[in-house]
């Protein structure tokens, strides 16, 4: 009797430790597996099954059997694909789920009130002998049944003989099942909260991308590419990054940083983000300039006709009139050529030299008369935009674009991230820094930039270069983009080792397998046959 009391005391103490362990585990698969392991261990059960109540059925989650060395479900077991158990009182597990009563059966072959056809068929097929069974409801803090714990074939600690489950185990197992139910509920709640947060993050990022018809998918692409680089780093066994390994939690943190790296763009005006040409605001003002030049041409033509009539009335020689008309036609052709030069300059490009800048300024300095007022060929604002040296953005617009990263940091600093996501702001806020300190917003240099920030920096530039949906440039062939990245790495702007890994691991090739583009999208791709 004293020995039995000592065993029960030890089991109660163990149950307390189990409760602490259960409350600390948030991975649902590991938690479910732990519950069955611990229940079987202190009851000396040969086998155990755990069901979770879902969609008005009991779904198999864990199945263990020591005799057959079987472990199915959970974090380490083989895949479990058994049909769910309907909630019918004929089935003992369903009965327990419906009534919240504990059922202790000494021998299932001599039990009444339940249908044990399933266990008997299993025994017949495998040679196993199902005998004692303890089935306990798993009820949470609101006394709701969330599942059922079923233990099979208790064994004598000394002889190993299959014996009935002792009455003392009923309350202990029920206590464990109750603690387990609370732990499962908490783990599910945490999982649901994480899913809610992830959904919020992706919705926000998608909303930012979709503000512009030209940048849809950029944030997603950067997030996916960033994770692919992290996974490639995990496979590295030698070199600078041989000791780098991203855990499951660190990959989650990196994923969130990727999804949120451009959240500050929510305040960037769409006409700046989408500025496809130098004269574009809400509309492309090149049409207004073209109409103006056509009007100037008509004004010049009317002036010539009036002059020609005057010359003819004055009896001017035909040769003189013809020479004057030729000069007028030459000026009209020059006006047309200037307009075409302006239209070409409006498209932007990699670089605009001094000669072209000066030509725009010279054209803009000319004037014409309209309703008695002197008007310029080009306004000061049009000249400023048309003489942008590189790209389509003015310095003021470029600052607006760059300010998105400052706002990104400010917005992310307002979010009370969990401990596992504490570095999201630092990682996301570093994707426009440069290894040589020439980046922004903080001018970080070298190792001052976290590895995750350097990864986002690399994939953000690569995605922007190879994007197929930018209005201000043609899709850039991958090799061209990689050559540009190599030049930046040689200049010390990018992490050279990361770029080498990016190329060696064929990150882009893997990415395009996940997100293919139509044949012929890039200049170095064969076009689709029609």
Rounded to 10 degrees, the C-alpha dihedral 404/405/410/412 comes to 110
Averaged pLDDT score across all residues of the chain: 87
More confident residue, 424 or 194: 424
Cis ω on the peptide bond leading into residue 147 (within 30° of 0)? no
> Does residue 495 contact residue 489 with C-beta atoms inside 8 Å?
yes
Tell me if 2-190 shares its fold with 211-275+396-514.
no
CA–CA dist 478, 514 (Å, integer): 16
The pLDDT-based confidence of 188 (bands split at 50, 70, 90) is confident
pLDDT band at 474 (very low <50, low <70, confident <90, very high): low
| Residue 445 banded pLDDT, cuts 50, 70, 90 | very high
Count of C-beta atoms within a 10 Å radius of residue 393: 19
Does 529 have pLDDT greater than 50? Answer: no
Domain extent listing, the chain: 2-190, 211-275+396-514, 286-392
CB atoms within 10 A of CB 186: 17
The length of the chain, given as a count of residues: 530
The Cα 333–Cα 343 span in angstroms is: 15
Q: Is the pLDDT of residue 523 over 80?
A: no
Q: What is the mean pLDDT of residues 332-353?
A: 90
Return phi, psi of residue 154, to 5°.
-65, 145
CATH, range 211-275+396-514 = 1.10.3210.10
Question: 444 pLDDT exceeds 60?
Answer: yes
Q: What percentage of the chain reaches a pLDDT higher than 90?
A: 56
**265 alpha-carbon distance from chain centroid:** 16
Q: DSSP secondary structure string, 280-319?
A: BSSSBTHHHHHHHHHHHHHHHHHHHHHHHHHHHHTT--HH
Asked if residue 65 has pLDDT above 60, the reply is: yes
Packing angle of the helix pair 2-24, 167-210 (nearest 10 deg)? 0
- Nearest C-alpha neighbor of 207 from the set 262, 281, 283: 262
What is the distance of C-alpha 61 from the center of its chain? 29
Helix residue ranges, H only, 80-217: 92-99, 117-126, 167-210
Q: At residue 126, what are phi and psi to the nearest 5 degrees?
A: -110, -15
Q: Does 337 score more than 70 pLDDT?
A: yes
The residue with greater pLDDT, 505 or 198, is 505
Instruction: Please give the Cα distance from 30 to 307 (Å, whole number).
Output: 95
22 vs 421, more confident = 421
Lowest mean pLDDT of 77-81, 368-372, 408-412, name the range. 77-81
Distance CA 150, CA 163 (A): 16
Alpha carbons 125 and 235: distance in angstroms, whole number: 44
Q: How far is the C-alpha of 56 from the C-alpha of 86, rounded, in Å?
A: 7
Question: Are 432 and 457 contacting, i.e. CB atoms less than 8 angstroms apart?
Answer: yes
Three-state secondary structure along 168-189? Answer: HHHHHHHHHHHHHHHHHHHHHH
2-190 — its CATH code? 3.30.450.40
Strands 162-163, 57-65: pairing is unpaired
- Residue 99 φ/ψ, nearest 5 degrees: -100, -15
Take residue 479 and report the two structure tokens written for it: 């090799």
Confidence of residue 165 (pLDDT cuts 50, 70, 90): very high
pTM value surpassing 0.75: no
The answer on pLDDT for 98 being more than 90 is yes
In the 8-state DSSP scheme, what is residue 142? T
In this structure, what are the phi and psi dihedrals at residue 54, rounded to the nearest 5 degrees? -140, 135
């Amino acid at each position: 009797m004293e020995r039995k009391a000592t065993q029960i005391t030890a089991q109660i103490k163990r149950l307390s430790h189990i409760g602490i362990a259960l409350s600390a585990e948030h991975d649902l698969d590991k938690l479910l597996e732990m519950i069955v392991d611990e229940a079987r261990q202190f009851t000396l059960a040969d086998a155990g099954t755990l069901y979770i109540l879902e969609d008005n059925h009991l779904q198999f989650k864990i199945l263990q059997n020591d005799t057959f060395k079987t472990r199915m479900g959970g974090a380490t077991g083989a895949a479990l694909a058994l049909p769910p158990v309907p909630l019918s009182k004929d089935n003992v597990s369903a009965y327990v789920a419906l009534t919240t009563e504990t059922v202790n059966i000494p021998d299932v072959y001599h039990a009444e009130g339940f249908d044990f056809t399933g266990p008997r068929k299993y025994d017949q097929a495998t040679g196993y002998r199902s005998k004692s069974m303890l089935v306990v409801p798993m009820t949470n803090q609101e006394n709701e049944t969330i599942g059922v714990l079923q233990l099979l074939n208790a064994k004598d600690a000394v002889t190993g003989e299959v014996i009935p489950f002792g009455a003392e185990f009923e309350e202990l197992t029920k206590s464990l099942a109750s603690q387990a139910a609370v732990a499962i509920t908490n783990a599910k709640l945490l999982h649901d909260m994480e899913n809610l947060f992830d959904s919020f993050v992706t919705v926000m990022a998608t909303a930012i991308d979709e503000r512009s018809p030209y940048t849809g998918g950029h944030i997603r692409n950067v997030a996916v590419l960033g994770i692919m680089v992290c996974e490639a780093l995990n496979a590295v066994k030698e070199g600078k990054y041989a000791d780098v390994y991203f855990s499951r939690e660190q990959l989650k943190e990196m994923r969130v940083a990727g999804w949120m790296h451009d959240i500050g763009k929510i305040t960037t005006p769409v006409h700046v983000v989408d500025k496809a040409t130098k004269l574009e605001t809400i509309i492309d003002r090149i049409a207004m300039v073209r109409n103006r030049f056509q009007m100037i041409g008509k004004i010049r033509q009317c002036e010539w006709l009036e002059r020609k009539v005057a010359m003819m009335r004055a009896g001017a020689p035909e040769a003189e009139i013809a020479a004057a008309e030729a000069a007028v036609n030459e000026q009209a052709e020059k006006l047309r050529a200037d307009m075409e030069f302006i239209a070409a300059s409006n498209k932007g490009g990699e670089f605009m030299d001094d000669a072209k800048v000066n030509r725009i300024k010279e054209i803009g300095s000319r004037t014409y008369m309209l309703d008695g007022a002197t008007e310029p060929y080009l306004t000061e604002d049009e000249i400023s935009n048309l003489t942008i040296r590189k790209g389509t953005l003015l310095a003021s617009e470029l600052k607006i674009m760059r300010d998105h990263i400052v706002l990104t940091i400010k917005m992310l600093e307002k979010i009370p991230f969990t401990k596992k996501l504490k570095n999201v702001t630092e990682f996301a806020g570093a994707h426009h820094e440069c290894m040589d300190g020439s980046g922004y917003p903080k001018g970080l240099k070298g190792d001052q930039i976290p590895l995750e920030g350097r990864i986002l920096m690399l994939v953000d530039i690569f995605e922007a270069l190879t994007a197929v949906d930018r209005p201000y440039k043609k899709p850039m062939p991958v090799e061209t983009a990689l050559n540009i990245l190599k030049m930046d790495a040689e200049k010390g702007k990018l992490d050279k080792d990361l770029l080498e890994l990016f190329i060696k691991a064929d990150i882009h090739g893997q990415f395009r397998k996940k997100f293919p583009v139509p044949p012929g999208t890039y200049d170095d791709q064969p076009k689709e046959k029609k």
